[in-house]
Structure 1
Amino acid sequence: MCSGVFIAGRNEGLKEKDDLPSDLMKYATVTIDHKDLSASSSFFGLAHSKAIYRPGLGATLIHELTEKEIRAQKFNLTSPPDVNQDDIPWPMGDKTDHYSIPSNINRTLLQDAISSLFIEKDRKKLINTRAVVVVYDGKLIAEQYARSWPRTSKHLGWSMTKSIISALFGIVAQEKNLDINGPAPVSEWNESDDPRHSITIKDLLQQTSGLNFVEDYTSSSDALKMLYLTSNMAKNAASHALGDKPGTQFSYSSGNTNILSRIIRDIVGENEYHSFPYRKLFYKLGMNSFIMEVDASGTFVGSSYSYGTARDWARFGLLYLSNGLYNNEQILSKDWIEQTIKSSGANRGYRYGFQFWLNNPVSDDSSERRFPNAPTDMYYASGNLGQNVFIIPSKKLVIVRLGATKAPGSDYGADDFLKTVIASIE
C-alpha cells in the first residue's frame, strides 16, 4: 500500500481494490498517513505493521530495526535530469510520431493483438492488463493503457527487477574487471572450509548457487520470510545452508538476487551505491521516473521491488535489443549480453541466463519452449502476475506487457499475443 500510494500515485481505494487480496482485506485495516509518508496496517486488530516512504529510496517495511533507526539513515542519492521528456524524441524522451510507422507493419493486426489483452473473456480468470508497449527496430510503434492507468503510471516489476540487477552487475563487472567465475565475495562464506565458499558470482546469476532456499508464495516460505520479516534480506539469504553442489542444479531463488545486490553495494562502496543504478543505467536510458526500493538495511531489494512506466520498461528492453549500445554509448558490452543469454547446463527445464528467462528449447521439440509461437532467440524479464519485457532480436522487437493477472500461472494468453504481434511485422 505504501509503495502504491507514494510511488505509483494510486488512490488508496484503487490500490486496495486492484492489488491487495480481497479475501484478506475484509479482515484488515490499512491507514495512510500523508504527513509522515507512511502506511500502517493490522489484521483483526493484531499483527501491526508499518512501512515508510523516503524519496529516492521508495517504501521500506519496518522490521527488526526501529522506525527511528531507519529514518536516521543517510545515503548519497542523485536527482533525475532536469528535462521535460515530452520535448525530447524517443527513446531518451517521450516525444513520438505514431504516424511514421514503418510500411511493413500491419497496423490492424498489431492493434488486434494488443486490444485482445484488454478484453476480459472469463470473469473468473481476469487478466487485468494495464499497459502494453511495442517497439520495433528502436521505434515505439504501438501502446495501449487500461482505464485509470495512464502512460505516466509507474508499475511494479516484481521479479523483472532481477533482470535490472543483472544489467547493473554487468556494468560493475566491466568497470571493476570482475571474474564472475571466482568465489562470490560474501562475508558469510569467507572461510575456505565453508562449503558455500565455492559459490561463484556466475552461480548466483544463473540461479545455480545450491543454497537451500524455498521460493514459494503460498506458505510461510523462505522467500516470504526474507521479504517481510527481515531488515537485511541479503544477510538472511546468505545464511542458508548449501543443499546442492554449486553449479549443478537450477533453483530459482530471490535470495540469490538479493545477495547479488549486496555484492554490488560492497564493490562500488557506500558513497556510490544508492546513486549507482540511476547514474550508470536508468538516466542514461531515459528511465527518469524509475525507482528501486531498499530494505531496512539500505540494500536494494533486487529480487522484487522496482517501479517504472511501461515506456521505462521498454527502454530497458531496448538496451538489450541494441546489444548494449544506447544513445551512442556502449553501456553494456556485447560480451556481457552474449553471456546473459546463455543457459546454464544445470537448467534442464525452461532455460535461464543471467537473471533472464530464455526461449531456446531443451531439445528440438518446439513445444518444450515456454512460448512455442515465439522465436528461439527470444529472452525476457518476467515478474509475478504477468509482468514481461520480451526481447526478440531476430524480429527487432521489444514487447512490454504489465498487469495483475490472477489466472493460474499468470497466464494472460502471452503465446498467442506474441504470435500475432510477430505476424504483424510483414
Structure 2
Amino acid sequence: MKKIVLFTFLAFSLVSCSNDEEPSLDDQNPTETIYFPNNGSDVWETKSVSELGWNQNKLQPLLDYLELKNTKSFIILHNGKIVVEQYFGNHTATSPWYWASAGKTLTTAVSGIAEQEGLININNKVSDYIGTGWTSAPLVKENMITCKNLLSMNSGLDDTLGDDVSPSNLQYIADAGLRWAYHNVYVKMQDVVAQASGQSWSNYFNTKLRDKLGMSGLWIQDGGLSVYWSNTRSMARFGLMIYADGKWHSSQILNENFLNAATTTSQNLNLSYGYMWWLNGKTSYRLPQTQFQFTGTLIPNAPSDMYAALGKNDQKIYVVPSKKLVIIRMGDSADNSNFALSDFDNALWGKINELTN
C-alpha cells in the first residue's frame, strides 16, 4: 500500500473515527480563525483527519483513486491548514505544473486588483485601454465589448476559430452580452491591465498578487497564450486567499465586493459562470465548445456553494465556504482530454464526501 502523506498533531489521529463518534471541528470551534502560512517559509500548519471527525478509512481509497486517475498532486485545506497532501509518481512538492484554464482566475483576481487601484473599470469598453482594432468586428460592435464581457465570456466573438487572439481571428458573431462562449479572448484583460498600469503583465501580477501570497511560479507562452506554472502549494495559497474573502494574513489583497461578484452568476446565459469561476448549485450550465444548455447543477456530488477554477486535463481548485475547504488537484487528464468540467469532477467529489462526511 502506498504511503499516505498525512499530517497529524494528536497521537490518536490514526484511529478510525466517524462523525457520529466525535463532533466535527466546525461544531467544536465555529469561530476558529483562518490560518495562513507565512511567506518565504515551507512551514504550513496541519490538522489530522481524525481531529476533524472525518472517516480515516476512506482516505486511502481516495488516494488510490487519484493515483489511478493520473493525478500528480492533491491537497485538502481545512480553514487554511493542510489535512491531506499527496504527491504521486515522480512529482514532488517542488515540481512545477501548468494551471491551464484554472489560471484564468488569476487574471480575474489581478483585474479586480487593478480596478480597486483605480486603474481600470470593468464596465468600460476594452478599446478604452488597448485602442480600437483589437478585433475584426465592425467598430460599433467592437466598442460594445466591455472588460466585464471578457471576464464573463460573453464578448460575442466567434469561439470556433481556435486559440489565436490576433485581430484577424477575433471575429464578430453576436453583439456583446447576447452569446456565452468559452473563448481565449479573455487574455486581452492582461493587455488591459498592462496598458493601464504601465507595466508588463508579469511584473504587475508578480508585485500585486504572486509575491504578496508567497507563491512560486511564472507565466510561460504556449501557442500565443500565457499559461501559469507553479508548484501545488502555490495553487493552494491562491485558493486560500480566495476562500478568505480576498485576505492574506491582515492584508486585503482583493476587494471582497469584487470577489463576491466574481463568484456569483455574471450574466443570464450561463448561470454557472461568474468571472471565470465555475459555480455549483445552479439550475443549469453551459460548457466549452457548445451552445447547448444542460439542466441541473454543475457537479451534483459537490456542495451547492462550491465554486471552482477548472483547467484543461483536470487541473482543479475547489473552494467550499460552508465546509471551510480548499481542494487542489494537478495532473494529467483523468480520462479523456477536456477543457474544463469532466466526469472526473463528480466521481472525485463522491470520494471526497466519503472521507469528509
Would you call these one fold, judging by a TM-score over 0.5?
yes
Which ranges of structure 1 fall in alignment gaps of 5 or more residues?
A: 1-88, 121-126, 215-220, 227-232
Q: In the alignment, does 2:272 pair up with 1:359?
A: no
Q: In the alignment, does 2:98 pair up with 1:156?
A: yes
Contact 2:71–2:331 (Cα < 8 Å) also in 1: yes
Q: In the alignment, does 2:295 pair up with 1:371?
A: no
Q: In the alignment, does 2:75 pair up with 1:104?
A: no
Question: CA 1:208–1:95 in structure 2 vs 1: closer, same or farther (change >3 Å)?
Answer: same
* C-alpha distance in structure 2 between counterparts of 1:406 and 1:143, whole Å: 19
Q: In the alignment, does 2:251 pair up with 1:324?
A: no
Contact 1:98–1:140 (Cα < 8 Å) also in 2: yes
TM-score w.r.t. the length of structure 1 is: 0.66
CA deviations 1:157-205 (Å, max 9, x no partner) are 1111211111110100110263212212332348995311011111110
Question: CA 1:422–1:322 in structure 2 vs 1: closer, same or farther (change >3 Å)?
Answer: farther
**How far off its partner does 1:374 sit?**
0.8
Q: In the alignment, does 2:169 pair up with 1:247?
A: no
TM alignment of 1:380-395, pairs within 5 A: 380-395=308-323
* C-alpha distance in structure 2 between counterparts of 1:359 and 1:135, whole Å: 19
Question: CA 1:295–1:143 in structure 2 vs 1: closer, same or farther (change >3 Å)?
Answer: closer
Q: In the alignment, does 2:202 pair up with 1:259?
A: no
**How far off its partner does 1:397 sit?**
0.5
Contact 1:344–1:352 (Cα < 8 Å) also in 2: yes
Equivalent position amino acid for 1:281 in 2: L
Contact 2:49–2:56 (Cα < 8 Å) also in 1: no
Which ranges of structure 2 fall in alignment gaps of 5 or more residues?
A: 1-35, 286-293
Equivalent position amino acid for 2:217 in 1: F
* C-alpha distance in structure 1 between counterparts of 2:49 and 2:238, whole Å: 21
SS at match of 2:322: helix
- The aligned counterpart of 1:210 is 156
CA deviations 1:93-149 (Å, max 9, x no partner) are 3213446667224251552353133343xxxxxx31111011011111111111110
Q: In the alignment, does 2:237 pair up with 1:315?
A: yes
SS at match of 1:381: strand
Q: Of 332, 350, 356, which residue of structure 2 is paired with 1:419? A: 350
Percentage of identical aligned residues: 25
* C-alpha distance in structure 2 between counterparts of 1:130 and 1:311, whole Å: 13
SS at match of 2:242: helix
**What is the number of residues matched between the two proteins?**
306
TM alignment of 1:118-133, pairs within 5 A: 118-120=66-68, 127-133=69-75
Equivalent position amino acid for 1:117 in 2: Y
Contact 2:155–2:177 (Cα < 8 Å) also in 1: yes
Q: Moved runs in structure 1, 4+ residues, more than 6 A?
A: none
* C-alpha distance in structure 1 between counterparts of 2:121 and 2:44, whole Å: 41
* C-alpha distance in structure 1 between counterparts of 2:310 and 2:156, whole Å: 22
**How far off its partner does 1:355 sit?**
1.2
Equivalent position amino acid for 1:90 in 2: P
